[in-house]
């Protein structure tokens, strides 16, 4: 493999095309037509061996941008002249079954710097475990493709499928520049026609897509996708949508492998299942035992079910998810290289082994050295066992703290009916329950002393961080203050010392918590006892993850335990903080009432909940400075009113205990870790490699 030292190329290439202003990346240099103001080179530079490169605020004339671009183009020529590839693909080229590597890569491939251990070696299968057919996240958060992707720390964006972008002054038009010569995994061209097909033939087809995908919606308005030329696509919205880059970066196959969640599809392949392009589509569907061509199309668009569907991700399935062992192989046309010009990914493939006995079986596999890299389904309460067996198992346990928010939080149901609901809707009641909790005890025992005591707000480096005073507000243990607040609103108690509502009925906080994350039930029990100590009857109910969601949507529960992992994604993931959609944490009855007032669980929204929802909905239409100010205001409002209670955050509790084979290299020691970041995608798995073959 060629190892020419072109780390500078990556810095120039990535830095030049992602100069950022408040996390909104600028366009790539060759499409800049005016002076570009550079506030900083975004945190992509953290990808480069943890080095943060900062540039003072300067004005860069167009001619200077052009000069930088000439340097980039020159260095890209060096990369192209030193292209390397894996031995298995080289063998296929030699046999005549695969084109040469320079014909498989775009003219401007993405250059992914190596994170820790340098230029890698080809080969090896990375072993992971998964829990069943619904656990596609175990693959798609490792093998992922999107227009842009999140940087290592999660605070900025990196070009990916798009090599650059620009946004109109009014925020209504976003133009993305694709990579010329990029191809699908079967060698067919990937270009703007695949976007137009997805938009016109799939998204706008109500039989195939009854609900417009979230990335094309802003409130009740719907955007459009159009082709400018083969390598340029435009997204147009009827109203300003300054948040679109973040929203479209979140758009991917996620857990289910359906291309309806992304703005493109392999049109050359999917047309065979579409009735508008194949007159036999209906008959073919019936022959495949589907009731209609639309059902058949839906099945064939899911990578989980159809490994033959072409992909643009680094690896692709070779057999359906749900099998005892699911295998994947590298995409021979993947569009990224390392700084030395070697086509990525380094790893030959990923193996998922089905574990049906629960996460403990997966932990046992890790202890026995049978897992090469995994954080998903590794619980914090297994940390000590894993650490004790590191040498025996040939692995290292890393901890990736969560990106923001709280790793266990208590969400009040603002639409709970009855007297207990009236208590929940009383601000002083909620504030008192926060003061009644001894978070230090939970941190020490349930969190093993890790993380920080805090409310569920973004991290200190985020532009929506409301300040230390809000992050720490009412996190101190003060039962006397809690009792004083409760006495001011619900002073009456029954013979057992529990507080009564205005009708003389006992106030009860029935709490639903899932056992899917090991220490949450224990934390819920501690909180329940703390609330009872100040006279509020609590009833903690532990259940499975699936039933946990189902029971919450009945609107019969006062409190739900989950994590606030969407803090920082203030305007793109709002269901945990405001009554948006049926999956809201804030008030399921309120959300149902806003959608359909005849719904049996509908409950009239309090005005404060509606106001909170409206605050969130204003965000996407605002330019960065105004949006950031509104983001801070939202978190101040939430914490001051205590709509939810954060306990401990910035810990590795949720998918942050990472087991890594000692031979697997370039896996970072530190990483922004959260579901919205699609972790570990932001660790750039394409550049992981084995230092010696297993």
**Average pLDDT for 460-485:** 97
Residues 275/284, Cβ–Cβ less than 8 Å: no
In the chain, what percentage of residues exceed pLDDT 90?
Answer: 81
- Among 65-69, 148-152, 320-324, 515-519, the minimum mean pLDDT is found in 65-69
**Average pLDDT for 476-490:** 98
Residues 13/75, Cβ–Cβ less than 8 Å: yes
Let me know if 238 is exposed, middle or buried by CB neighbors in 10 A (0-12, 13-18, 19+): exposed
Question: Residue 73: what pLDDT?
Answer: 54
- Whether pTM > 0.75 for this model: the answer is yes
SS3 of 635, please?
helix
CA atoms within a 13 Å half-sphere pointing along the CA-CB vector of 42: 26
Rounded Cα–Cα distance for residues 621 and 585 (Å): 24
Residue 284 pLDDT greater than 60, yes or no: yes
Q: Six-digit token pair at 105?
A: 């890569």
SS3 of 500, please?
strand
Question: Residue 77: what pLDDT?
Answer: 63
Question: Residue 113: what pLDDT?
Answer: 93
For 590-636, write each residue's pLDDT tens digit: 999 999 999 999 999 999 999 999 999 999 999 999 999 999 999 99
Let me know if 607 is exposed, middle or buried by CB neighbors in 10 A (0-12, 13-18, 19+): exposed
- For tokens 């969400």, the residue is 411
- For tokens 């392949």, the residue is 269
Residues 605/593, Cβ–Cβ less than 8 Å: yes
Rounded Cα–Cα distance for residues 299 and 278 (Å): 17
Confidence of residue 481 (pLDDT cuts 50, 70, 90): very high
Confidence of residue 30 (pLDDT cuts 50, 70, 90): very low
Confidence of residue 152 (pLDDT cuts 50, 70, 90): very high
**What is the 3 state secondary structure string of 283-339?**
HHHHHCCCCCHHHHHHHHCECCCCCCCCCCCCEEECCCECECEEEEEECCCCCEECC
Question: Residue 51: what pLDDT?
Answer: 29
Confidence of residue 220 (pLDDT cuts 50, 70, 90): confident
Give the closest residue to 340 by CA, choosing from 4, 1, 688, 689: 4
Residue 319 pLDDT greater than 70, yes or no: yes
Taking the CB of residue 87, how many other CB atoms lie within 10 A of it?
11
Residue 20 pLDDT greater than 80, yes or no: no
CATH topology of domain 406-649: Dipeptide-binding Protein; domain 3 (3.10.105)
> For residues 19 and 414, which has the higher predicted lDDT (pLDDT)?
414
Confidence of residue 34 (pLDDT cuts 50, 70, 90): very low
Rounded Cα–Cα distance for residues 181 and 106 (Å): 4
Confidence of residue 79 (pLDDT cuts 50, 70, 90): low
Sign of CA dihedral 193, 196, 201, 203: positive
- CA distance between the termini of the chain: 20
Q: Which long-range contacts does 210-213 make (Cβ < 8 Å, 24+ apart)?
A: 213/251, 213/260, 213/261
Rounded Cα–Cα distance for residues 377 and 261 (Å): 24
Rounded Cα–Cα distance for residues 544 and 548 (Å): 6
Confidence of residue 109 (pLDDT cuts 50, 70, 90): very high
Taking the CB of residue 35, how many other CB atoms lie within 10 A of it?
11
For 492-501, write each residue's pLDDT tens digit: 999 999 999 9
Rounded Cα–Cα distance for residues 548 and 678 (Å): 23
Residues 470/675, Cβ–Cβ less than 8 Å: no
Confidence of residue 257 (pLDDT cuts 50, 70, 90): low
Question: Residue 314: what pLDDT?
Answer: 98
Question: Residue 76: what pLDDT?
Answer: 59
The pairing of strands 349-354 and 125-130 is: parallel
Question: Residue 693: what pLDDT?
Answer: 53
**Average pLDDT for 249-261:** 74
Question: Residue 45: what pLDDT?
Answer: 29
Average pLDDT, the chain: 88
Give the closest residue to 246 by CA, choosing from 464, 14, 29: 464
| Sheet containing 125-130: order of strands | 125-130, 349-354, 325-330, 315-317
> For residues 71 and 142, which has the higher predicted lDDT (pLDDT)?
142
Residue 27 pLDDT greater than 50, yes or no: no
């Amino acid at each position: 493999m060629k190892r020419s030292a072109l780390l500078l190329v990556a810095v120039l290439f990535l830095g030049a095309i992602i100069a950022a202003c408040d996390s909104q990346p600028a366009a790539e240099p060759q499409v800049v037509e005016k002076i570009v103001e550079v506030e900083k080179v975004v945190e992509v530079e953290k990808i480069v061996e943890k080095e943060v490169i900062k540039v003072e605020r300067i004005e860069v004339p167009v001619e200077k941008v052009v000069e930088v671009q000439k340097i980039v183009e020159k260095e890209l020529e060096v990369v192209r002249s030193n292209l390397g590839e894996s031995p298995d693909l080289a063998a296929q080229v030699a046999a005549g079954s695969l084109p040469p590597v320079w014909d498989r890569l775009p003219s401007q491939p993405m250059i992914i710097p190596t994170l820790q251990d340098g230029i890698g070696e080809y080969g090896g299968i990375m072993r992971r475990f998964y829990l069943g057919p619904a656990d596609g996240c175990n693959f798609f958060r490792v093998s992922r493709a999107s227009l842009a992707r999140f940087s290592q720390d999660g605070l900025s964006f990196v070009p990916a499928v798009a090599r650059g972008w620009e946004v109109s002054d009014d925020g209504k038009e976003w133009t993305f520049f694709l990579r010329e010569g990029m191809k699908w995994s079967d060698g067919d061209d990937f270009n703007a026609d695949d976007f137009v097909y997805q938009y016109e033939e799939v998204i706008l087809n109500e039989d195939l897509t009854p609900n417009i995908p979230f990335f094309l919606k802003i409130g009740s308005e719907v955007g459009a996708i159009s082709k400018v030329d083969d390598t340029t696509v435009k997204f147009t919205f009827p109203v300003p949508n300054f948040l679109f880059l973040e929203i479209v970066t979140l758009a991917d196959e996620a857990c289910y492998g359906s291309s309806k969640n992304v703005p493109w599809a392999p049109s050359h392949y999917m047309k065979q299942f579409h009735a508008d392009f194949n007159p036999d589509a209906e008959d073919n569907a019936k022959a495949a035992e589907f009731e209609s061509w639309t059902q058949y199309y839906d099945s064939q668009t899911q990578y989980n079910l159809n490994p033959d569907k072409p992909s643009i991700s680094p690896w692709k399935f070779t057999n359906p998810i749900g099998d005892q062992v699911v295998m994947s192989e590298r995409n021979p046309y993947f569009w990224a290289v390392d700084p030395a010009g070697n086509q990525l990914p380094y790893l030959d493939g990923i193996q998922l082994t089905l574990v049906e006995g629960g996460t403990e079986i997966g932990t046992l596999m890790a202890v026995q050295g049978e897992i090469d890299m995994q954080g998903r389904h590794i619980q914090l309460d297994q940390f000590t066992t894993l650490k004790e067996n590191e040498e025996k198992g040939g692995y290292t346990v890393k901890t990736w703290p969560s990106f923001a928010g709280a790793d266990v939080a208590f969400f009040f149901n603002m639409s709970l009916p009855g007297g207990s609901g009236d208590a929940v809707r009383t601000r002083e009641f909620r504030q008192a329950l926060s003061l009644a909790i001894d978070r230090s005890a939970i941190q020490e025992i349930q969190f093993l002393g890790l993380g920080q005591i805090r409310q569920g707000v973004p991290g200190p480096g985020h532009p929506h961080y409301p300040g230390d005073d809000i992050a720490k507000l009412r996190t101190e243990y003060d039962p006397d203050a809690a009792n004083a607040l409760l006495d001011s609103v619900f002073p009456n108690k029954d013979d057992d010392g529990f507080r009564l509502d205005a009708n003389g009925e006992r106030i009860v906080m029935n709490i639903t918590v899932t056992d899917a994350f090991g220490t949450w039930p224990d934390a819920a029990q501690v909180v329940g006892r703390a609330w009872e100590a100040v006279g509020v009857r609590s009833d903690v109910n532990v259940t499975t993850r699936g039933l946990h969601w189902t029971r919450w949507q009945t609107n019969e529960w006062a409190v739900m335990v989950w994590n606030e992992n969407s803090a920082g994604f203030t305007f793109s993931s709002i269901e945990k903080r405001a009554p948006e959609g049926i999956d809201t944490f804030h008030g399921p009855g309120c959300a149902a009432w806003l959608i359909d007032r005849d719904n049996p669980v509908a409950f009239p929204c309090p005005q404060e909940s509606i106001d909170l929802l409206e605050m969130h909905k204003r965000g996407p239409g605002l330019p960065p400075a105004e949006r950031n100010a509104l983001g801070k205001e939202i978190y101040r409002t939430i914490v001051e009113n205590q709509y939810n209670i954060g306990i401990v955050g910035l810990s590795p509790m949720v998918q942050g205990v990472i087991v890594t084979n000692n031979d697997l290299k370039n896996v970072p020691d530190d990483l922004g870790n959260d579901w919205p970041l699609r972790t570990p995608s932001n660790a750039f798995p394409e550049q992981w490699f084995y230092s010696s073959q297993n």
